């Protein structure tokens, strides 16, 4: 990292972020907090923005996309972790790769897909120094899921659409869980828990994600 800000300052900012997630945002899952503490978020944003990487905001990562707010990353993973292991996990919308890195600390295997080739190249660069052996990235349209690696215990979608792409439900294991932002201007997190042929739905936090689009570029 060639930033002029000393690493100790980043470590301090990261510790503050974890403190905020715990005490203000009430993130309780120690696994999630430990995973977030272990990933240097400043390595996933432009150098110009690195000083703000630990603030609780989304930041631009180019190509009109954003790195998700730390609270939302933590909250989504916490919802999916409740009372279970993440297991084999598919992330749709890898963006700069930050959430994929956090997931790889908790899940047994992570497949992360991104529809923008250039952004995926950036994610690969961001992730390389971390050497995460259980994380695979692919340029693909995640509305089709990832049939060649299905089924998944967990599917997490980092972009919002008006409905749930049907392929995603079919690529869950019989006890798999899927979390996806649904809505237009006002989105909410929809959790789908599969129990065999039954898909139980519950609504969680209000969120604002970039749109879930189709095709690759
Ligand atoms: N997970 C990221 C957030 C990325 S923003 C983080 O850690 O911060 C959401 C990403 O979803 C964007 O990069 C966008 O290009 C991507 N995206 C949107 N629709 C998609 C689709 N159908 N398949 C794969 N990626 C998609």
pLDDT of residue 3: 52
The answer to whether the CB of 212 falls within 8 A of the CB of 95 is no
Q: What is the pLDDT of residues 155-187, one digit of tens each?
A: 999 999 999 999 999 999 999 999 999 998 899
Domains, the chain:
7-207 (3.40.50.150)
Q: What is the pLDDT of residues 109-153, one digit of tens each?
A: 999 999 999 999 999 999 999 999 999 999 999 999 999 999 999
Q: Please give the structure tokens belonging to residue 108.
A: 């047994």
Structure-derived torsion over alpha carbons of residues 28, 34, 38, 41, reported in degrees to the nearest 10: 0
Ligand 1 atom having least distance to the Cα of 73? 7
Q: Using a 6 Å CB cutoff, which residues line ligand 1?
A: 65-68, 92-96, 98-99, 113-116, 119, 141-143, 158-159, 210, 212-214
The answer to whether the CB of 32 falls within 8 A of the CB of 17 is no
| pTM metric for this prediction | 0.96
Pocket test for ligand 1, best of 126, 159, 167 (most atoms within 8 A of CB): 159
* Dist. CA 217 → ligand 1 center (Å): 12
Total residues found in the chain within this entry: 217
Nearest CA to ligand 1 atom 17: 93
Pocket test for ligand 1, best of 158, 168, 207 (most atoms within 8 A of CB): 158
Ligand 1 atom having least distance to the Cα of 212? 19
pLDDT of residue 107: 98
Whether 68 is a known active-site residue: answer yes
pLDDT band at 47 (very low <50, low <70, confident <90, very high): confident
> HSE of 142 in the Cβ direction (CA atoms, 13 Å)?
29
pLDDT of residue 13: 95
């Amino acid at each position: 990292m060639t930033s002029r800000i000393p690493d100790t300052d980043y470590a301090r900012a990261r510790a503050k972020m974890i403190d905020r997630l715990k005490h203000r945002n009430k993130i309780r899952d120690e696994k999630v907090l430990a995973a977030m503490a272990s990933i240097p978020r400043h390595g996933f944003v432009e150098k110009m923005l690195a000083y703000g990487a630990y603030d609780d905001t989304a930041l631009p990562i180019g190509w009109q996309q954003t790195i998700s707010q730390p609270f939302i990353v933590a909250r989504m993973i916490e919802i999916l972790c409740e009372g279970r292991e993440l297991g084999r996990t598919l992330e749709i919308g890898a963006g700069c790769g930050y959430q994929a890195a956090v997931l790889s600390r908790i899940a047994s295997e992570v497949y992360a897909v991104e529809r923008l080739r250039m952004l995926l190249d950036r994610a690969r660069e961001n992730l390389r120094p971390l050497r995460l052996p259980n994380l695979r990235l692919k340029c693909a349209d995640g509305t089709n899921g990832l049939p060649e690696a299905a089924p998944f215990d967990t599917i997490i979608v980092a972009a919002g659409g008006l409905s749930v792409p049907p392929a995603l439900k079919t690529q869950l294991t019989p006890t798999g869980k899927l979390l996806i932002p649904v809505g237009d201007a006002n989105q909410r997190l929809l959790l789908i828990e599969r129990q065999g042929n039954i898909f139980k739905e519950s609504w969680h936090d209000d969120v604002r994600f970039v749109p879930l689009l189709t095709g690759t570029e």
